[in-house]
Amino acid sequence: MPAQPQTGQTGPIAGRLSADALAENFADLHPPLSAHEARVAADRCYFCHDAPCVTACPTGIDIPLFIREIQAGRPETAAREIFEANILGGMCARVCPTEVLCEGACVREAAEGRPVEIGLLQRHATDSLMARQGHPFTRAPRTGKRVAVVGAGPAGLACAHRLARHGHDVVIHEGAPKPGGLNEYGIAAYKSVDDFAAREAAWIMGIGGIELRHGQWLGRKVTLDALREEYDAVFLGIGLSGVNALGLDGPDLEGVHDAVTFISALRQSEELSTLPIGREVVVIGGGMTAIDCAVQAKALGAESVTLVYRRARAAMGASGFEQDLAARRGVRLIFEAAPVAVEGEGRLSAVVFERMAEGPDGLAPTGARFTLPADQMFRAVGQRLGDANGLETVQGKVVTQGSGRTAMDKVWAGGDCAAGGDDLTVTAVAQGRDAAEDIHRVLTD
Amino acid sequence: MADLTTRFLGIESPNPFWLASAPPTDKEYNVRRAFEAGWGGVVWKTLGAEGPPVVNVNGPRYGVVHGPDRRVLGLNNIELITDRDLKTNLEEMARVKADYPDRALIASIMVPCEEAAWKAILPRVAETGADGIELNFGCPHGMSERGMGSAVGQVPDYIEMVARWCKQHYDRPVIVKLTPNITDIRKPAEAARRGGADAVSLINTINSITAVDLDRMAPEPTIDGKGSHGGYCGPAVKPIALSMVSEIARNPETHGLPISGIGGITTWRDAAEFMVLGAGNVQVCTAAMTYGFRIIEELCAGLSDWMDEKGYRSTADFVGQAVPNVTDWKNLNLNYVAKARIDQELCIKCGRCYAACEDTSHQAIAMTPDRVFEVIDAECVACNLCVDVCPVENCIEMVQMEAGRVDPRTGRVVSPDHADWTTHPNNPMAQAAE
């Protein structure tokens, strides 16, 4: 339970909670299993034939096998099995919506409503191996080929690692000061404690043959044409750098922010007590980012946090677990309402909503309005591709075929920037990995 | 509430649960607490001859085999007989028996295989008022190296000889405790009967190494880098013990010889299984060493409830009831045909039945792309492996084929008549049907 917020001053202000309360609120969401707990949890796995959990995993990790290896007392052997399929298996163990992926497919979920704790077991295994010095994989002999990877997020890191393993030399061009992409800047702090995203990125690069360059925003510092000129292949894992707008009535007011900016600032903060947070916070949106934003606003000490989503609960992008988490942490969820206007004089004081209803022509306003007092509002209504860099797009994302090939020669793409994904870390990893294999095939053909 | 009072060799105890000769019955303190907890009797930890007592190791005496969540499935030990002097033990036994006249108190004894040694100790045991004696011919470690314990139990002639001495020099019931570390358990039991023993108790522990420390390259339990085989007991040995008890119960040479059943009894059901296979009572050790004396409450309540449910008024009503159904393989009905049936409502689609059948048995389960598992009757031999590996109780069962139907595997009509190997045409030794 989050500590009780201090009632009082309106307006985003810092230090609403004590250091102890903040530490508790931002503690690890799923504390790791002890060795004994892991053995007991592993024993629940039935080692299914052609297991549904494996089918449900976008990276196809051999889950029954790695769980059996934990059960047999070899968590590090299990980790190798995981990393072979998914080099970001450590982060995926923390952030995957397992209840809609592997654990949702677990036969024990169907049988008892209590699946094998695959996420926690994967974390147990990967933590065990990552705690050791060194890197578990070695590079093949150098091929002399050079590949540019743009973006050091999950797709880029997975791609770079696989290419390096095959002996290619990789240069990652990253705009931000740190690698990790959304793992570093875009997810809730309680899902990646102890600087895990940065540690994982460093560990991945431990394979060697990967050079990481910062400040390399595509289209500004480097261009796609130049990269194609200089390298044998280019992989774009540039994510979605743009933020969707809301288009509300009312003046520009202080206290209105993008959720991604808030989360990024929170993740990079050395001292959470210095972060300003409102007393009455409103979050607009229904995806994982909206939940991460709302829960963390509450955790920073907002007195009330209300998440408003324009559609019904069932349409929410955030998983059932995430919805429950928000409710448990004291976030109020309002469905089928859309913001229409902001109010305030210089600073936000309220947000006006209109009730929505699903009709024959889709979602439509009903005319009924209500107002929520708010001194801070976060927009979390989706992100979009920034500059397409001359690539063909569909629904705002780069068109790819097969294993991430774009229509442009020598250029592959994967992760959130590519069409056809579902904006999950684990999907981005799979796409980065598969593109690397395809690039490898082309370069060594 | 059924009456659990049990008479075994004329010795009455309020329930059929005795604590076996082992660490729990090593001394007055333990035995008094066991009786207070409700145990029906104890077999006092094995007494040795007069003189300096044996010494035990000062490192680990027990090794273990764990199941999930560290459940104790098997325990082994390298502890010897009592390491306290004879006089102390005898005095304590006398005091305890005087205070608990309604409970059974049996003295376990192990002295050298010389008549004088037995002749010397038996009158002193008799003076304690103990209800009987149990001859420890079972311990497979330590004492056996000195010509006692299982070293005697493995030689039927010695068993007969010592049993005879005991019947000559002692006037109360004599129980011979058998070692399972032998190829045919019927032989020592027959020898005990020939020697005049009133009963046998079994099984004692099984030669075992519970694990090997792969760093030290040493068996466990390990004493200063070395290990010695110990005696294995606990739930893991129950199937072996049940079979041995049934062999003695149905052997014409030993049929009717009272049996005290021992070996991994953990719950009331285990006890009932031993008793229906011919044990007049049971002895418990590992379960008490794992959970403490209080398990006696579950043992008594469970057995009593089951008896009420079945209408048994005394334990004698069901002792030996399953013995007639234990037979030789050659007598099993080869005309009995069954097929596996999978309950699709209960199936959770794990596919373990498929993997087991496809990889290791008869390829008699089909799997559809949407994970529906169905039995192929034309291949199914009803081996039961799918039932055994299925994680869902009652999801797969073996259904008998009615007589008159055609078994799609063999193409033969299922016969209502019994036919077994003794008359089977493939049997070169088949006896002609009369």
Asked if residue A69 has pLDDT above 80, the reply is yes
Using an 8 Å Cβ cutoff, are A337 and A286 in contact?
A: no
Substitution target from A55, A107, A112 for chain B, most B beta carbons within 10 A: A107
Using an 8 Å Cβ cutoff, are A117 and A93 in contact?
A: no
Asked if residue A192 has pLDDT above 70, the reply is yes
Least confident of A79-93, A234-248, B394-408: A234-248
Together in a domain, A222 and A254? no
In this predicted structure, what is the pLDDT of residue B356?
A: 98
Cβ pair A108:B348 closer than 8 A: yes
Q: Is A426 part of a structural domain of the chain? A: yes
Substitution target from B350, B357, B368, B370 for chain A, most A beta carbons within 10 A: B350
Last residue in a domain, options A95, A130, A165: A130
Q: Is A121 part of a structural domain of the chain? A: yes
| Domain CATH for A85 | 1.10.1060.10
Substitution target from A36, A49, A67 for chain B, most B beta carbons within 10 A: A49
**Structure confidence at residue A429 as a pLDDT band (50, 70, 90):** very high
Last residue in a domain, options A100, A130, A160: A130
| pLDDT tens, position by position, A113-161 | 999 999 999 999 999 999 998 899 999 999 999 999 999 999 999 999 9
Q: Say how many CB pairs under 8 Å bridge A and B.
A: 35
Together in a domain, A115 and A59? yes
Cβ pair B352:A47 closer than 8 A: yes
**Structure confidence at residue A2 as a pLDDT band (50, 70, 90):** very low
Using an 8 Å Cβ cutoff, are A395 and A421 in contact?
A: no
Cα(A247)–Cα(B414) distance, integer angstroms? 79
Together in a domain, A307 and A351? yes
- Average pLDDT for A263-270: 96
In this predicted structure, what is the pLDDT of residue B432?
A: 58
CB-based contact (8 Å) between A43 and chain B?
A: yes
Number of structural domains chain A divides into: 3
Using an 8 Å Cβ cutoff, are A41 and A120 in contact?
A: yes
Together in a domain, A211 and A287? no
Together in a domain, A236 and A288? no
Q: Is A4 part of a structural domain of the chain? A: no
CB-based contact (8 Å) between A48 and chain B?
A: yes
Q: Give the closest of A40, A50, A110 to B68, CB-based.
A: A40
Cα(A289)–Cα(A271) distance, integer angstroms? 22
Decide which of 2.70.98.10, 3.60.21.10, 2.60.40.1120, 3.20.20.70 is the CATH code for B6-325: 3.20.20.70
In this predicted structure, what is the pLDDT of residue A11?
A: 84
Together in a domain, A415 and A431? yes
Using an 8 Å Cβ cutoff, are A334 and A307 in contact?
A: yes
What's phi and psi for B64, nearest 5 deg?
A: -140, 150
- Shortest distance between the Cα of B70 and any Cα of chain A, in A, equals 9
Using an 8 Å Cβ cutoff, are A180 and A201 in contact?
A: yes
In this predicted structure, what is the pLDDT of residue A421?
A: 81
**First and final C-alpha spacing in chain A:** 57
Backbone torsion region of residue A134, taken as left when φ is above 0, otherwise alpha when ψ lies between -120 and 50, otherwise beta: left
Cα(A119)–Cα(A134) distance, integer angstroms? 24
Q: What is the mean pLDDT of chain A?
A: 94
Q: Is A185 part of a structural domain of the chain? A: yes
Asked if residue A211 has pLDDT above 60, the reply is yes
Cα(B317)–Cα(A77) distance, integer angstroms? 56
CB-based contact (8 Å) between A35 and chain B?
A: no
Cβ pair A49:B69 closer than 8 A: no
CATH number of the domain located at residue range(s) B329-423 in this protein: 3.30.70.20
| pLDDT tens, position by position, B363-394 | 999 999 999 999 999 999 999 999 999 999 99
Asked if residue A72 has pLDDT above 70, the reply is yes
Q: Is A312 part of a structural domain of the chain? A: yes
Q: Residue A208's domain spans which residues?
A: 146-241+385-444
In this predicted structure, what is the pLDDT of residue B431?
A: 65
Residue ranges per domain, chain B? 6-325, 329-423
Together in a domain, A272 and A378? yes
Asked if residue A6 has pLDDT above 80, the reply is no
Residue of B nearest to A35 (CA): B69
In this predicted structure, what is the pLDDT of residue B164?
A: 98
Together in a domain, A205 and A115? no
**Sign of the Cα pseudo-torsion (A86, A91, A97, A98, in order):** positive
Q: Is A27 part of a structural domain of the chain? A: no
Together in a domain, A262 and A359? yes
Q: Which residues of chain B have pLDDT under 70?
A: 431-434
Together in a domain, A164 and A109? no
In this predicted structure, what is the pLDDT of residue A1?
A: 44
In this predicted structure, what is the pLDDT of residue A7?
A: 55
In this predicted structure, what is the pLDDT of residue A5?
A: 47
B139 is catalytic: yes
Cα(B205)–Cα(B233) distance, integer angstroms? 5
How many CB atoms are located within 10 Å of the residue B146 CB? Answer: 12
Q: Helix (H, G, I), strand (E, B), or coil: what is residue B189? A: helix
**Structure confidence at residue A179 as a pLDDT band (50, 70, 90):** very high
- Shortest distance between the Cα of B350 and any Cα of chain A, in A, equals 5
How many CB atoms are located within 10 Å of the residue B68 CB? Answer: 13
Using an 8 Å Cβ cutoff, are A110 and B344 in contact?
A: no
- Shortest distance between the Cα of B272 and any Cα of chain A, in A, equals 30
Residue of A nearest to B68 (CA): A40
Nearest CA to B41 among B106, B86, B93?
Answer: B106
- Shortest distance between the Cα of A39 and any Cα of chain B, in A, equals 7
Together in a domain, A103 and A168? no
In this predicted structure, what is the pLDDT of residue A420?
A: 84
Cβ pair B350:A40 closer than 8 A: no
- Average pLDDT for A259-271: 96
Residue of B139, B353, B357, B395 marked active site = B139
Q: Percent of chain A, pLDDT > 70?
A: 98
Residue B70: list chain A partners with CB under 8 A: 36
Substitution target from A48, A55, A70, A74 for chain B, most B beta carbons within 10 A: A48
Together in a domain, A87 and A116? yes
- Shortest distance between the Cα of B369 and any Cα of chain A, in A, equals 10
CB-based contact (8 Å) between A50 and chain B?
A: yes
Asked if residue A17 has pLDDT above 90, the reply is yes
Mark which residues 103-132 of A lie under 8 Å from B by CB. 107-108, 110-111
Tokens of A196: 């895990």
Residue B212: list chain A partners with CB under 8 A: none
| Domain CATH for A252 | 3.50.50.60
Radius of gyration of chain B from its Cα atoms, rounded to whole angstroms? 25
Cα(A139)–Cα(A439) distance, integer angstroms? 16
Last residue in a domain, options A96, A130, A164: A130
Q: Is A25 part of a structural domain of the chain? A: no
